Amino acid sequence: MPTVLVIDENRATLATIGRALQEAGFSVALASSGQEGLKLAVERGFDLVVADLRLPDVADVEVLKQLRQTLADVPVIVTGLASTASALEAGKLGAVDYFEKPIRPDHLVRLARTYVPDTSPAPAACSPDARISPQVIRTMHVIENRYVETTLHVGAVAQDLGVSTEHLCRVLKRHTGLTFVTLLRRTRVRAACRLLQTTTLSMKEISSRAGFSSASRFDRDFKTVCGVSPSAYRAGFWRRSVTNH
């Protein structure tokens, strides 16, 4: 079961987010302060972090900096920023998305599933499927390291792993609930989100840097994952950032 750490000083918000994520199939840990959240991050591993950065005990983006040291590759969704400068810094530190308060739990759950897609009940511990296949782990590493290659496809990865394309497709579907194409698309869209938040690159440049074969493909895939166009996403991100300035 995917695990999520939620950090927010407002206990009512914590309860609302925690309940929504639990009902959606996530295992949730709640922290009402930055220090408590950082302590949990050290003690336990998480698949996703949802954090309000306007915390009374840890200055602004400092909690994100420290989370990056402990959970280097874990996606972080930010739910509160103190300023436009904070938004820029959060993006540079790897925050994958920003939610303006008040948070709609259904929207947050949908976004959480984008970054941690497998929320189905875990198989019994005695089942061989309860262990993630090394082939799945290696495939995910390949995707993370090579998503910029526009010609990357499941057949080439399967050949590198020494298995058939059909076998790899079955293993990925069984363990993640997703196809190779979907996993690759989501990784590229996450990379594009970071560039949209932290740079002024053109859509064509972002498309290329994120591994999309064309600007039109970038626009289509981005809408599929995020529900909005890249330009609308960028405009909304900066509008929210300025509003919180």
Provide, rounded to the nearest whole percent, the portion of the chain with pLDDT above 70. Answer: 81
> Of 95, 115, 135, which residue is a domain's last?
115
Q: Are residues 134 and 241 in the same domain?
A: yes
**Same structural domain for residues 202 and 229?**
yes
Least confidently predicted of 63-77, 123-137, 200-214: 123-137
pLDDT tens track for 40-64: 998 888 889 998 877 888 876 788 8
Residues 148 and 217 placed together within one structural domain of the fold: yes
CATH of the domain at 224: 1.10.10.60
Q: Give dist(CA 116, CA 13) in Å, integer.
A: 21
Residue 204: predicted pLDDT: 95
- Judge if 231 and 136 occupy the same domain: yes
Q: How far apart are CA 32 and CA 11, in angstroms?
A: 7
Q: Which has the closest alpha carbon to 41: 18, 14, 19, 69?
A: 69
The answer to whether residues 138 and 107 belong to one domain is no
The Cα 116–Cα 2 span in angstroms is: 7
Residue 220 lies in a domain: yes
Q: Residue 48 has what DSSP assignment?
A: E
- Both 240 and 147 in one domain: the answer is yes
Instruction: Find residue 31's DSSP bridge partners.
Output: 7
143 & 64 share domain: no
Domain membership flag for residue 231: yes
Q: Is residue 122 part of a domain?
A: no
Same domain, 104 and 35: yes
Cis status, amide bond into 102, omega within 30 of 0: yes
CA triple 217-208-64, angle to 5 deg = 105
Q: Are residues 104 and 151 in the same domain?
A: no
pLDDT in tens, 119-143: 444 443 333 333 456 788 889 889 9
Q: How many domains does the chain have?
A: 2
| Percent of the chain scoring above 90 in pLDDT | 35
CA distances from 236 to 41, 54, 114, 243 (A): 30, 20, 19, 10
77 and 156 together in one domain: no
Q: State the Cα–Cα distance between residues 90 and 104, nearest whole angstrom.
A: 21
Flag whether 121 is in a domain: no
Distance, C-alpha 218 to centroid of its chain? 18
State the residue range of the domain holding 74: 3-115
Task: Answer yes or no: pTM beyond 0.75.
Answer: no
Give domain status of residue 18, yes or no: yes
Q: In this predicted structure, what is the pLDDT of residue 157?
A: 93
Instruction: Give domain status of residue 151, yes or no.
Output: yes
Confidence of residue 30 (pLDDT cuts 50, 70, 90): very high
- Mean pLDDT value across residues 19-30: 92
